[in-house]
Amino acid sequence: MRKLIAKTIAFSLVILLVAVSAFYLILAGATPKTLGNFYFSTGSENLAIKYSERAYDKSGDISDLATLVERSAYFKNHSLVKKYGLILLSDGDFEEFADANGSGYKYYIAGSVVQSLYALNEKQAELEAKEQELKEKELENDTDANQP
């Protein structure tokens, strides 16, 4: 009798483990954005960035790209900030997206990219180019703000 109970318990645990693993794999494949948000809220740096990257790769949406850059900057993953931040800054919809997220958003992203380039010891020319681009955008905003 005890053998039967032990086998039943072991079988139930194996089935439960398989079901939970299958659910996790389905969730990871179908909605990586949800897992990215969950892991970010728990402070799991690598998993939050990993699933944010998967969410962007799956959707190609600028908001997912921005989330990936923001999380990479938050966790100081300079190589990903450089890689995806440059893509975000060169995206045609970035200006509109940045305006929707507040006046300082584009400077936050540009500053994060410049900081990452500096942290990665990139060439001085690249740093100066990004700095110049930031100054030009600032001048554009100043002229736009002064026009009636």
pTM to 2 decimals? Answer: 0.70
Average pLDDT estimate for 27-33: 78
> In terms of pLDDT, which residue wins out, 89 or 142?
89
Where is average pLDDT lowest: 55-59, 71-75, 79-83, 126-130?
126-130
Determine how many CB atoms are found less than 10 A away from the CB of residue 110.
20
What confidence score (pLDDT) does residue 35 get?
85
Report how far residue 82's alpha carbon sits from residue 72's, in angstroms, rounded to the nearest whole number. 9
Determine how many CB atoms are found less than 10 A away from the CB of residue 44.
16
Alpha helices in 2-147 (DSSP H): 2-30, 32-42, 45-59, 62-74, 78-90, 94-100, 105-119, 124-146
Q: Which amino acid type is present at position 108?
A: Y
For residue 98, pLDDT beyond 90:
no
Average pLDDT estimate for 22-41: 83
3-state secondary structure of 65: helix
For residue 146, pLDDT beyond 60:
no
For residue 147, pLDDT beyond 80:
no
